[in-house]
Amino acid sequence: QVQLVESGGGLVQAGGSLRLSCAASGRTFSTKAMGWFRQAPGKEREFVAAISWGGSNTAYPDSVKGRFTISRDNAKNTVYLQMNNLKPEDTAVYYCAADTTSYFLGGSSNAYDYWGQGTQVTVFA
């Protein structure tokens, strides 16, 4: 129903910046919210950011607040994650996700219906 493709990952030095993109296609009119999650080896999936599709509400966990910014361009059906002051602990595979059932910007991965394949972000000291 909704297809998501992430891009923009790569290798970056600690303190640097990256901007991830998530291009959505298919039945994008049904999307209510978009989110970013990440998963490092040996760790569980972690909530990173969320944004409402039709508004400007956003949500972040304390671990990235003040460093990461989520934004969207509805005309391009694209969501972005600007990551500044990157740290080695930010190293993970980053996934884009779409929620078609709720406007609540929760941090549970179970709330999201569609997922991209992920893009690797590696931060070295």
3-class SS of residue 29: helix
Residues in the chain, pLDDT under 50: none
Identify the pLDDT of residue 44.
Answer: 95
122 exposure class (CB count in 10 Å sphere: 0-12, 13-18, 19+): middle
3-class SS of residue 90: helix
